[in-house]
Structure 1
């Protein structure tokens, strides 16, 4: 895990000879390492040498934490293009600093592990807030867009001492508080903010708060609030709120707190996948909810998950991760697989490359994907769901090492399998092939192969003779013999198509044996 410099310096603030008022916000660092001449001077570096810090070997983002007496002349200064150097005060050892830093990383990594486990076991929102509250030292809450409190951390009741009217989970904010918010121009300005923001104290809110908004696509759903109580809000709390929001958006979307229009879109999708015909008004409502159009081009994808995903119940997590990563899609869970409906018109207008980003998502998650043919409108969604499932089944059977499979690559195999479901392939094949096989067996000829190559070459006699290594006259003799034995008319397209499919069916049956 990588942490902002502000929280790293704060963890050893007691022992620093000088601390900057505001640390660099855009750089993040992993666990510290001791300086070695043979390794690049990158990241967070611990240095105990008595000579001047070799900053000429450092990159612009490196941070040097130096023992007492190492580099007093450079302590706390930003060295242009060569990183930052900070000096420990006398009496503070490098061992002390190293211990403080590793404890800091331990706490944050433990919080991240706990939060990830909460996602897997579908923990209630309150547990997420409780874990974040332990890390930050401040109470948190989640309020939906109807001003109802849907989750609280345990420190919430303490806010009553600061003058805040405390409400329980499920209750709405007091009327006088909402009246203040609705007339506050700042409150309206932050409604669509995607990044964490500070909201100052006022007559309805006795303490300053740090907030992040939760969204489903472009729809505002709820607000996470951290109260400046018990401990001040620090720069790294912005980073914590960003990380927390990533998890809460996934959990929030999977719960019952989604706005009605979002749940409605999911219900419409499930009904379509069930093969139900929606009313025209319902289809139009679905398009309107997602900002889609009937004439847009769509594709349906079925993701085959691993046994570990099923055992750990991570399908729902990845469903909402997909909708967050690719906001031009809708997802559902069906038959222990993830179904994804893509609006390709919206995808082509989005930044980046969907195909590349989605391929990376599949590989990292160890998924397999089956794609339907492209289509317009969502009326026949259940048919395209079956197409994607067929692509996944046939593609995985033919080559399990390939990650993505397309229906049009396997439609012919499916067609041939269906053609021999009730009647064995030998009896489904054209009678001409049986006649030629029997003649070849008795006379040691190659009429069966000759006809096949002739049809594969689209009745091009010159190319067929070349591929068979025979004279053109020999080929014409063989074709005449084939016509006499089978009465096959080379002008009848439907019959030739049947013969060609019969060759393919015979090959498949031979491979199975």
Structure 2
């Protein structure tokens, strides 16, 4: 997992003499450390150990090259050097300066052990989730890690689960004593800090003056709405900024459990209607349209369909996370799973976004999540929703075969290959193409001529003899000789528009068949 600069700074203070910390936060996140040994750009999003040896080498390099690097997205830990003033001026991001007598190798080992402990905790949570474990068990696994009692409650302050602390105090009564619950709830509702926390997507530290102890609170989101919150109570040790990254990590697992545990699941009418439209071919479209209209999706609005598949086969815990992400990013959407597909309908009129804007917003999510995507066309009304799903499905299936190295496929880009595949679905290309074209192809094979190439180029140049000769790099008279031979073999004057279309299609079908052999 990633750890915040505040959490790492607090753990380092427990072992080392920390001289100074700057720009430390409980809401940033960094990967495991590396030792900066050469004058190259630092790895972004990582913890970077910087020593005096590196700074000396870097100074000599800068004098020659006049080059400096961007350290904004890096957590820098300075050690084995007291010559850091000039370097620190470059740092606008967080950094931790240790006593220069502390060994860099010891620091890197310590930081690795900090990450190891956190990763062990995350692995336990992963195992719990895969076993369909409960919220209660997740809190029990996390209480020692956080060092304080944990509580999950509804937005209405009703207790859902708690991890019993060794020294419970008045603060816990907010959640488990019905006599005082309403009193505390009313006090919190009037508090400005609490009001700000209602829509927050990050952990927030709430004051102690209401229930006698401070607490870190983070909302748990279900289907795009905050339905619960996880709370850490300051009853055993002082809460710090560093605790926030642990709470945020725990919250992601609790959200998954709430989304999938039967006792928490609520019927999502919008998802149900859209799922019926996709899966039930006998569903009455007028009824479905009325149900959608009752949910605020008008038949006069514009819609887009997206079909997603995981690149390596779907995993049970991945689907819910993807659907949750899509709903959170696009409130006016419906996301659900059907077999191995994740289907999402976007109400473009309500989101106020174009197809291109939605595609742009999702492009990195699709790539980084190892997904493959198919987009439909934008269409108006409810009667086309199933057809849009089929468009997106076709785009994904045909695109994955034709261009397996591409992550995202649009129906408009795949419609021609799809039509050609449908043409040869029952009969091969050689049996549906222009019959005399096969004779022309055979003539090329036997005599090493270029009649097929000449015909293809002639059709591509819109029957313009001069342009065709130029494209083939031959004399115009040579082309005209070939053209007469082609007409003779095809038994055609090449003047009928329908026949020209048929020849164009036949050439494409034969090319497609050759590529697939």
Q: TM-score range by the shorter chain?
A: 0.7 to 0.9
SS in 2 for 1:225: strand
Alignment-derived partner of residue 8 in structure 1: 9
Alignment-derived partner of residue 401 in structure 1: 405
Structure with the greater alpha carbon radius of gyration: 1
Alignment-derived partner of residue 66 in structure 1: 99
CA 1:442/1:209 → structure 2, altered by over 3 Å: closer, same or farther?
closer
1:282 offset after TM fit, Å? Answer: 1.3
User: Given the alignment of the two structures, is residue 142 of structure 1 paired with residue 149 of structure 2, yes or no?
Assistant: no
Contact 1:252 1:258 in 2 (8 A): yes
Q: CA RMSD in A?
A: 4.3
Per-residue CA deviations over 1:130-158 (Å, capped at 9, x if unaligned) read 33322122122222245443332243x96
Contact 1:182 1:188 in 2 (8 A): no
Contact 1:304 1:368 in 2 (8 A): yes
Distance across 2 between alignment mates of 1:342 and 1:392 = 17
- What is the correspondence of 1:348-427 to structure 2 with a 5 Å cutoff? 349=353, 355=359, 358-427=362-431
Q: 2:293 aligns with which of 284, 288, 308?
A: 284
Q: 1:45 aligns with which of 78, 86, 96?
A: 78
Unaligned runs of 5+ in 2: 34-47, 59-70
Q: 1:340 aligns with which of 339, 344, 364?
A: 344
Alignment-derived partner of residue 270 in structure 1: 275
- What is the correspondence of 1:86-101 to structure 2 with a 5 Å cutoff? none
Per-residue CA deviations over 1:203-242 (Å, capped at 9, x if unaligned) read 7x45443212223465232222222222332232333333
User: Given the alignment of the two structures, is residue 185 of structure 1 paired with residue 190 of structure 2, yes or no?
Assistant: yes
User: Given the alignment of the two structures, is residue 318 of structure 1 paired with residue 319 of structure 2, yes or no?
Assistant: no
1:253 offset after TM fit, Å? Answer: 3.4
Distance across 2 between alignment mates of 1:440 and 1:33 = 68
CA 1:226/1:414 → structure 2, altered by over 3 Å: closer, same or farther?
same
CA 1:342/1:407 → structure 2, altered by over 3 Å: closer, same or farther?
same
User: Given the alignment of the two structures, is residue 242 of structure 1 paired with residue 283 of structure 2, yes or no?
Assistant: no
Q: 1:233 aligns with which of 239, 246, 249?
A: 239
Q: How many equivalent pairs are there?
A: 473
Contact 1:272 1:380 in 2 (8 A): no
Alignment-derived partner of residue 124 in structure 1: 134
CA 1:346/1:107 → structure 2, altered by over 3 Å: closer, same or farther?
farther
1:483 offset after TM fit, Å? Answer: 5.1
Contact 1:299 1:344 in 2 (8 A): no
Contact 2:174 2:180 in 1 (8 A): no
Contact 1:199 1:211 in 2 (8 A): yes
1:16 offset after TM fit, Å? Answer: 5.2
SS in 2 for 1:496: helix
Please give the TM-score of this superposition, normalised by the length of structure 2.
0.74
CA 1:189/1:163 → structure 2, altered by over 3 Å: closer, same or farther?
closer
Contact 1:119 1:317 in 2 (8 A): no
Distance across 1 between alignment mates of 2:392 and 2:159 = 41
User: Given the alignment of the two structures, is residue 209 of structure 1 paired with residue 215 of structure 2, yes or no?
Assistant: yes
Contact 2:270 2:292 in 1 (8 A): no
| Farther-moved stretch of structure 1 (479-488 vs 236-245) | 479-488
